[in-house]
Amino acid sequence: MLAVFMIATAALEWFRYVTKSPPTPLLVSAVAASFAALAGWKLWRALPKLKRLRQGIEGERVVGEYLAGLRSRGYRVFHDVVGPRFNLDHVLVGPAGVFTVETKTWSKPSRGDARVVFNGETLTAAGHVPDRDPVTQARAQASWLRTLILESTGRTVGVFPVVVFPGWFVEQAASSREKVWVLEPKALPSFLEQEPLRLRNEDVQLIAFHLSRFVRSTQGSTT
């Protein structure tokens, strides 16, 4: 945009020099005001999207920091695993098994009920049901990863879906935790500690090797 502006300015000056034309500040000002208004309108419309992107980046960073601390406990951590028309935010492979971690960085209300509640069937945030059910999304992603591991390793390994909400107070019915976890990121390490040993170290290394190879192949195809 800056290059186009400078070229246009230079062309105008050369036109005035060649034609001996007097300055036309009113015309130039009117055109400049029109473009400024258009730019301001587009920026105003883009602000909500920019806010959501900024929240998403910050949420991913916070969750990534919590997951990084699990490496000392024998977990391998993968970020942005590319699937068909979706991305897995994070994948954990460790002693307690394989977990997909979907991060939801939703804005909390300034007042009222700032809780995420999952009763086993319906998830609400601040009392509202979201347009897209993150639990259904997480379960579908876990199912896809389970199939990917089977195809790449020849082994059937359970993949457990996790949905985390940074900064929210999260309530989940205890009876629903056998199929999915809906958590605040800080609670994830303690939940993992309570899980039984499901994978031996050689199993972790095998799955992590094939998953690393898949991640490298998808990164190469998208660059």
Q: Is the pTM of this model over 0.85?
A: no
Report whether pLDDT(106) > 90. no
Q: What is the C-alpha to C-alpha distance for residues 193 and 125, in angstroms, rounded to an integer?
A: 27
**Per-residue tokens: 61:** 């960073």
Mapping DSSP to helix (H, G, I), strand (E, B) and coil, where does residue 105 land?
coil
Q: Is the separation of the CB atoms in 88 and 100 below 8 Å? A: yes
Mean pLDDT of the chain: 86
Q: Kindly state the average pLDDT of the residues 141-150.
A: 96
Q: What is the C-alpha to C-alpha distance for residues 185 and 65, in angstroms, rounded to an integer?
A: 10
**Per-residue tokens: 50:** 């920019």
Show me where the domains of the chain are located. Answer: 48-222
- pLDDT tens digits for 46-88? 777 766 666 656 666 677 777 888 888 999 999 989 998 899 9
Q: Is the separation of the CB atoms in 99 and 91 below 8 Å? A: yes
